[in-house]
Amino acid sequence: MKQIQVSDSNSGGRSSRNDEIVSIGASARFDTLPEDCISMVIYRTSPRDACVVASVSKTVKSAAESDLVWEKFLPQDYSSLVPPRSVDFSSKKEIYMSLADDSVLIDDGKKSIWLEKGSGKKCYMLSAMDLKIAWIDTPEYWKWKKDPESKFEKVAKLRHVCWFEIRGKISCGMLSKGTHYFVYAVLKIGGSGSRGLDDTPMEAQVGFVGEEAASKTFVLLEPKGTYLRGGYGCCYSSSSLTTVEEVEDEREADGSVEEPKERGDGWSEVKLGNFYNGDGGCDDDGDEIEFSIMEIQKGNLKSGLILQGIEIRPMIEGEEEMVIAK
């Protein structure tokens, strides 16, 4: 007798007393249940589970692909996210897959939203236009430009600064409840190269507004040692210059320094931290998550960065265990 374990999606994929075991023997007894009953069982799982169980039989597949199941996996406000072409969608599953495969621009094109395909959790990217960037209105330091690889109208290009500071925030009410999230800066280096990004650790913080940061770490905005120079031009004295050796000192003191990793879409990302958005959602006043990247003490020149935005994604299975174990 084969067994299919159908876990409650609220349990995060772990076994619990609420887990249901559907036994399928030679007589295919599960198939003999009314299709609505089968749908109600699958309804309590996840999009990933629904796709897997659909391979059991034609009857189960029909139940697993029903609108009853997939409307539950969609966010409550999904109708406002579906573009006008949604009239072409023949099912709620098609709408779900559309929102999982392609992001949708919101907030006057300053944010994008999509669904993590396996869980249906909400993902966001805040564009550079939606962030507070020190000196962004000073053309000598930063400039706005178009980039064909960006989903947004404009990206921010760093010309040169010594005081580097980027901040942003998002309402926790926009995020999926009961979810662990990672926060990433999405960036790349301009064609003329960079200065001060591969050997100057910057402090990154993530947490609720008005509370102690949930996570603090040091990050590099370009992989360490990309440019082996003897030193950089500096806004202050030469004694404030940062070297590769100082990065190693930061690494030993803090335990790690996060470095960018290529994404495969023409951009790289560096992890800024993580947080947990509880089951209770927001208070009446509206809690917010804030995040920042700063380097305002060393005083060395930094240039060449192109910033698309800050991405907020739910942890996938395996990543959550690593964070909890820390």
CATH superfamily of 107-325: Galactose-binding domain-like (2.60.120.260)
Mapped to the 3 state alphabet, what secondary structure does the chain carry? CEEEEECCHHHCCCCCCCCEEEEECCCCHHHHCCHHHHHHHHHCCCHHHHHHHCCCCHHHHHHHCCHHHHHHHCCCCHHHCCCHHHHHCCCHHHHHHHHHHCCEEECCCCEEEEECCCCCCEEEEEEHHHCEECCCCCCCCEEEECCCCCCCCCEEEECCECCEEEEEEEEHHHCCCCEEEEEEEEEEECCCCCECCCCCCEEEEEEECCCCCCEEEEECCCCCCCCCCCCCCECCCHHHCCCHHHHHHHHHHHCCEECCEECCCCCEEEEEEEEEECCCCCCCCCCEEEEEEEECCCCECEECEEEEEEEEEECCCCHHHHHHHC
The pLDDT of 15-24, averaged and rounded, is 43
Q: What is the pTM of this model?
A: 0.82
Q: Where are the domains of the chain?
A: 2-73, 75-102, 107-325
> Rounded mean pLDDT of 109-136?
97
Residue 250 reports pLDDT greater than 80: no
Highest mean pLDDT among 36-40, 157-161, 221-225: 157-161
Residue 261 has pLDDT above 90, yes or no: yes
- Does 3 have pLDDT greater than 60? no
Q: Which residue has the higher pLDDT, 9 or 50?
A: 50
Does the pLDDT at position 275 exceed 70? yes
The pLDDT, as a whole number, for residue 17 is 40
More confident residue, 253 or 96: 96
- Residue 76 pLDDT more than 70? yes
